[in-house]
Amino acid sequence: MREIVLDTETTGFEPTEGDRIVEIGAVELFNHLPTGRTYHQYINPMRAMPTAAFEVHGLGDDFLRNHPVFKDIGKAFLDFIGDAQLVIHNAAFDMKFLNHELAAIGLPTLPMARATDTLLIARQKFPGSPASLDALCRRFGIDNSAREKHGALLDSEILAEVYLELVGGRQPDFGLNPAAQANSAGSTQGADAWRPRPRPTPLAPRLTDAEIAAHALFVDKLGEAAIWKKRL
């Protein structure tokens, strides 16, 4: 299963009032494991950065004016996320900005059904407790010391760790579905596509001859109905 953990930074709170996306960061997961593939893009909002927003993420006018506008990166962003499920903290906020930007340049928008909201998961799992990204990092013991200001890619990387804790811990699933498995690029392969290879040099036995003989004697004493006899 391919998922994209995603975050945006913006000039404010409401795209219909002229606020724009200034940064997108995304991390690819496959079967709940990071693949190492990321997407990161700063975006020129074509407007002045409000002081309140600058204090949150530190992205100013002089820096952003040297980066592309959204219409120049929108297609590449959609190509990266493909048809993967999106994992977002407070998904309603990011989705309304992404869809506003996409619609403005005539690209397909993203249905809310594609968004898994970690904020809602956290509130359901820990009712009454703080559910901010920083609070969840403290709860799960995740190091967020590098998060002096909000940054879309760093926040996506941290959110990926938080998400895996929220859905049951950082261990991957065992991939027991025999039908098909998807690789990190999104293609599918049958379960027979991979088989363990034999060791080039077999491991040396760790049992002594005396231990093997003692075990055989013990099994003989169990009688013919013993389960050991059926498995040997």
Residue length of the chain = 232
Residue 67 a catalytic site member: no
H helices present in the chain, as ranges: 51-57, 61-64, 74-81, 91-104, 118-125, 133-140, 152-166, 209-220, 227-231
Q: Which strand (E) or helix (H) includes residue 37?
A: strand 33-42
| Segment (H or E) for 117 | strand 115-117
CA atoms within 13 A on the CB side of 201: 1
Residue type, position 21, single letter: I
The predicted structure's pLDDT at residue 196 = 61
Helix (H) or strand (E) holding 28, with range, is: strand 21-30
Distance, C-alpha 229 to centroid of its chain: 48
Q: Which of 32, 89, 150, 215 is catalytic?
A: 150
Q: Give the pLDDT means over successive 10-residue stretches in the chain (232 positions).
A: 97 97 97 95 97 95 97 98 98 98 98 98 96 95 81 94 87 46 44 58 79 84 73 51
Q: State the sign of the Cα–Cα–Cα–Cα dihedral 139, 140, 141, 143.
A: negative
DSSP 206: -
